[in-house]
Amino acid sequence: MSKTEAIALNPSQTLAPVGNLAAYIDWTQRIPILSKDEEVLLLEQLHDQGDVSAAKQLIMSHLRFVVYVSRGYLGYGLSHEDLIQEGNIGLMKALKRFDPKVGVRLVSFAVHWIKSEIQEFILKNWRIVKIATTKAARKLFFKKHRMKSHMTQDEIAYLSESLDVSKKDVEDMLAKLSAANDVSYDPLDHSEATPASPSTYLAGPESACPEAAYIAQTSQAHNHSQLRSALQKLDSRSMDIIQKRWLAEHEQKHTLHDLAKTHGVSAERIRQLEQVAMRQLREHLGSAL
């Protein structure tokens, strides 16, 4: 897809009606959803013939999904319009890179690109995370947006150190995010025949949450493998500390004092060992994080 074609497909310039955000969202909900066969046909026309009109139909039919995903990031203090625009850019990038031969729906592939583009936009614009330059820090930040109610004081301290900000800044950030969490992924309008969530309109094997499907198909196994490999390079005590402090379920996480009793050392010594182990993990994982 050329730059000219991408501009032509930009929903903010050529596809969307003139009006406010509510009008745009309503418009996206009224765009017909493609069946699997229709999607395959349009993808063939795009890839085999370079058919821009086919690309436009594919983009338009997925705009509702961008709106759906973007709502999960409303707690960062940025406008919904900007989040949607960035998500639309991610959607277009996904379409350019999508291989219809992989056997999954476009929406399952596009979720990665949509979320990535929105996250990059947030990282560039939100004051707390402007300096979050490492993938590890970014991953932790967005993980905590989804699981902020489960963040321990030790995790707050680690995030504070990773982002080079004060603990108070992290706590203030979490407080600002809390209001959006409960409604982020609700359907836009419960009265609609077709809610915004793609899981409600993808039939068959594709009916699972697109995000979960994509992660299962791509990054999850790879990331777990990388992490297992990195953990195996630690000594047994350090591995136990990391697993019980960071990888256990929230209810089963150990405190520094818990581990101090287990290993017969001081809590401060556990903290030091944890820091060394985390540094070793980051060095081993590198770009894999």
Give tens-digit pLDDT for 222-243. 556 677 778 888 899 998 988 8
How far apart are the C-alpha atoms of 26 and 129, rounded to whole Å? 32
pLDDT, position 168:
77
Choice between 167 and 175, residue whose per-residue pLDDT is larger: 167
* Between 43 and 141, the higher pLDDT residue: 43
Residue 67's pLDDT band, with cuts at 50, 70 and 90, is: very high
- When the pLDDT of each residue in the chain is averaged and rounded to a whole number, the result is 71
Average the pLDDT over 243-263 and give the result.
79
Token pair 């010594």 in the structure block, residue: 269
Q: Which CATH architecture fits 3-156?
A: Up-down Bundle (1.20)
Does residue 123 contact residue 129 with C-beta atoms inside 8 Å? yes
List every span in the chain annotated with CATH 1.10.10.10: 220-288
Where is pLDDT greater, at 56 or 130?
56
Angle at CA of residue 286, ends 268 and 153, nearest 5°: 35
Spell 127-165 as b/e; 16+ CB within 10 A means b: ebbeebeeebbbebbbebbeebeebeebbbebbbebbeb
**Under a CB-based contact definition with an 8 Å cutoff, are residues 163 and 171 in contact?**
no
73: which DSSP letter? G
| Global confidence as pTM | 0.48
Rounded CA separation 287/73 (Å): 24
Tokens of 119: 């996250």
Element of type H or E holding 52: helix 52-61
Q: Where are the alpha helices (DSSP H) in 134-235?
A: 135-147, 153-163, 167-181, 210-217, 219-232
Give Rg (Cα) of the chain: 22
CA gap 201, 186 in Å, rounded = 15
What pLDDT sits at residue 43? 92
59-66 mean pLDDT: 94
Q: Identify the pLDDT of residue 224.
A: 60
* Burial class (CB within 10 angstroms; exposed 0-12, middle 13-18, buried 19+) of 262: middle
Q: Please give the residue that has the higher pLDDT: either 144 or 82.
A: 82
Q: What percent of the chain has pLDDT over 70?
A: 59
CATH 1.10.10.10 describes domain 220-288? yes
Give start-end residues of each CATH 1.20.120 domain in the chain: 3-156
CA distance 92 to 94: 5
Which pLDDT band holds residue 146 (cuts at 50, 70, 90)? low
**Position with higher pLDDT, 15 vs 193:** 15
Q: Which of 80-84, 105-109, 168-172 has the lowest mean pLDDT?
A: 168-172
Provide the pLDDT for residue 266: 92
